[in-house]
Each structure stands twice: as structure tokens, then as C-alpha cells.
Structure 1
Amino acid sequence: MALLACKLVAQVAFKAGGDVFHHLLANKPQHLAKATPGFVQGCDLHQGSYGTNGSVIQWKYTLDGKAQTAKVAIQDVDKEKKQIAYKMVEGDLAQLYKNLLVTIHVETKDGVDFVTWTIEYELINPDNPHPLSLLSFFIDFTKQIETHIFGP
């Protein structure tokens, strides 16, 4: 049975500065646990260095009220485009999805910064849910970082 490649995309206006958001995610993800403790509880470097292609980090996070982990490889770091991608290597979501790739891209349109989250994945089982709660997590997470940096 062939797996179906799927994609979910969400874009969030970010008034706290897209450069700051990209820098945090690419180079200082370990600080996200302090900024968003309800979402991220830890980010540990397993191989390489933050913000470098091929490096591996382990996220500890809470999704749908459950503590979860994700070991990801950093891909497609582009400081000029303000883009970074994380490919799932192992973790809780790897039980549901194959080839899970999360790309975060920051762009400015008409003076407003937008953070775009793209989730590309294949369902291991056609009965598995699409990762809509993960997309919602990323939207809320982005808003929480904005509040942390910019204030309410």
C-alpha cells in the first residue's frame, strides 16, 4: 500500500520581529523552554551545534496535554531566507507519521513579519489522524513567543 504524502501550512503574523523568532529557533532553541514552558520543557543538543545542518536535537514538549519527545535533524538552515527545517528522526510522532518534516520560514510582507509553519508527512496508517493538533501547537507556540518577547 502506498503512503500518501500530505502537507499542512499555517501562517501567523508576528509583531515581535521575525529576525528574533528565526534567531531563537535556529540558534537558541534551548531558551524556548524558559519562554514557553507550557509548550517546550527542554531542547538538548545530541550532535553538532545549534543552527547547523545535520545537527540533531531532542525536544521535550507537551502536545494535547501529554509529555512527548522528538529527536530531529536540522536541515535547510538559511539565514538569508530566515528558514529552518526539522526532520523527525525518532519520537512519539514517529509512531503515526513517516518522513515528518517541519519547516519554519519567516518573511516580511508590507512591513509585517509572518511566520509560516509547514508540516510535510506521510500517514503510516490511513486511520491515523492528520497532525492538526501539532499545527495548532505551532500557532499557539508562536503567539506565546511573541508575548514573551513583545509583551501582551
Structure 2
Amino acid sequence: MAEATSLVGKLEADVEIKASAGKFHDMFAGRQGEWLKATPGKIKSCELLEGDWGKLGSVVIWNYVHDGEAAMTKKRVEAVDPEKNLIKFRVIEGDMMKDFKSFVSTIQVISKHGEPGSVVKWHMEYEKIIVDAGHPETILQLAVEISKDIDEYLLAEE
């Protein structure tokens, strides 16, 4: 008897960056509108619909490129902890909802002790609509690439 593939899953990735944890978190929480400049070719537009940038309950629409295709997602901020450099987003509408019942991303940035730089920890939890739906691995890869672009952007600011 073949083992059933789960519809529920988790993905994680660690991205080493040169920017400080606080600066990187600030870009994710308070400066999302600057992502267009920081991630050329990946983020096409970003619009705040409700609330304030990076605040609990705020809602943002992103237009981006995923696997070479234009895509849109609407996300709500579900948790923000500036002391832990953590922010959590839930996808509430958009192209991802064709494949997923739920998709939540948590980003935490941790300072390296005793050396410069930080580690961006991505944690994604999802539930697919059907087993063959979507490839969350490519979404995680896009997140890793965006993290590297934002790190370069922040370093160029200094």
C-alpha cells in the first residue's frame, strides 16, 4: 500500500546576511514600499491597503514574479515582535490561493554573536488544496533570493 502524501507541510531556510538583524527586520516591517528598489525584477508593486506598514493586522497587496510569471498576493500581518526581529504574514487572497488553503510565512532575523551579520530564518507553513497543487519550495527559493537582494540594498545604503 502506497503512503499518502500530506497536504500539510512546513519549509525552512536560513539565509546568512551582512546587514544587522534590526536593519533587516525594519526593512520587512516598516519599509516594505522600498522593496521595489531593493528587488529589481522580483517585486513589481506593493500597496498598503489597511493599517500601517508592518503593524499587526495591516494588509498589503504584492505584485511579483514567481517562476517567470506575474503573480499577486494579499497578505495580512499576523504577528510582529521588534525585540525578536520577527514578523509573520498570512496569505489571504491572490494567486497562491489557487493551490493552497492556507500559507503563512514567519521571518525572524537573528544577530550572529561575536561576528558581524545576521541570519534570516524563514519558516513557511502551508496546506495544499490537492496533493499535486503548487510547489512551495519555489516560493521559499524566491524568499531566499529577496532576502539576498534586500541585504545588498541595505549594505549599499551605508
Distance in 1 between residues matched to 2:42 and 2:29, nearest whole Å: 17
Identical counterparts, % of pairs: 36
SS at match of 1:148: helix
Contact 2:88 2:104 in 1 (8 A): yes
Deviations 1:66-109 (A, max 9, x none): 11110010111000010001100000011111110011100123
1:94 aligned residue: 97
Distance in 2 between residues matched to 1:72 and 1:20, nearest whole Å: 22
Q: Of the candidates 49, 57, 74, which is equivalent to residue 71 of structure 1?
A: 74
**Bigger radius of gyration among the two:** 2
Distance in 2 between residues matched to 1:59 and 1:18, nearest whole Å: 23
Distance in 1 between residues matched to 2:28 and 2:120, nearest whole Å: 11
Q: Output the TM-score relative to the length of structure 1.
A: 0.93
Q: Provide the aligned C-alpha RMSD in A.
A: 1.3
Q: Output the TM-score relative to the length of structure 2.
A: 0.89
Q: Which amino acid in the other structure matches residue 73 of structure 1?
A: R
SS at match of 1:80: helix
Correspondence list, 1:22-33, <5 A = 22-33=25-36
Correspondence list, 1:1-80, <5 A = 4-80=7-83
Q: CA deviation at 1:4?
A: 3.1
1:118 aligned residue: 123
Q: Of the candidates 107, 113, 133, which is equivalent to residue 138 of structure 2?
A: 133
2:149 aligned residue: 144
Structure 1 gaps, min length 5: none
Q: CA deviation at 1:129?
A: 3.6
Runs of 4+ in 1 over 2 A off after TM superposition: 109-112
Count of aligned residue pairs for this structure pair? 149
Distance in 1 between residues matched to 2:104 and 2:18, nearest whole Å: 26
